[in-house]
């Protein structure tokens, strides 16, 4: 087993990515928004994994910062989709709460990598 597979933040990010993929498959959202959200959600997972494999704290921190940036990107895309009435407020709220939790967990990882 790789170290990142043991991290709760990785497990939650992986779960979020799966939820977003299923969610987007059921929605009629323009391809550019769908693809951007999929890439941002997947980037969270990949950067957590890559960061956990680095040897120095600054290297780890850099990838966790990038992962957190991807969380923010997901929030921005979902916020736009909500404003354009492509998703409901309730759908937005469900994803927002998961992203907020991921952001807090990544922030803790970033702080511990100083």
> Looking at the predicted structure, is the pLDDT value of residue 26 above 90?
no
Reported as a single tens digit per residue, the pLDDT across 48-91 is 999 999 999 999 999 999 999 999 999 999 999 999 999 999 99
User: Which CATH architecture best describes the domain 3-112?
Assistant: Up-down Bundle (1.20)
8: confidence class by pLDDT, cuts 50, 70, 90: very high
In the prediction, which pLDDT does 114 show? 86
CA distances from 91 to 1, 11, 27, 50, 86 (A): 34, 21, 11, 30, 10
34: confidence class by pLDDT, cuts 50, 70, 90: very high
Give ∠ CA 103-109-47 in degrees, rounded to 5. Answer: 75
43: confidence class by pLDDT, cuts 50, 70, 90: very high
40: confidence class by pLDDT, cuts 50, 70, 90: very high
């Amino acid at each position: 087993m790789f170290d990142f597979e043991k991290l709760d933040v990785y497990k939650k990010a992986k779960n979020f990515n799966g939820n977003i993929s299923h969610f987007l498959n059921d929605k009629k959202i323009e391809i550019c928004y769908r693809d951007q959200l999929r890439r941002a959600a997947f980037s969270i997972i990949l950067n957590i994994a890559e960061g956990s494999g680095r040897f120095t704290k600054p290297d780890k921190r850099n990838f966790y910062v990038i992962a957190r940036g991807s969380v923010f990107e997901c929030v921005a895309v979902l916020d736009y989709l909500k404003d354009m009435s492509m998703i409901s407020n309730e759908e937005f709220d469900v994803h927002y709460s998961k992203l907020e939790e991921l952001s807090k967990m990544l922030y803790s990882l970033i702080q511990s990598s100083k």
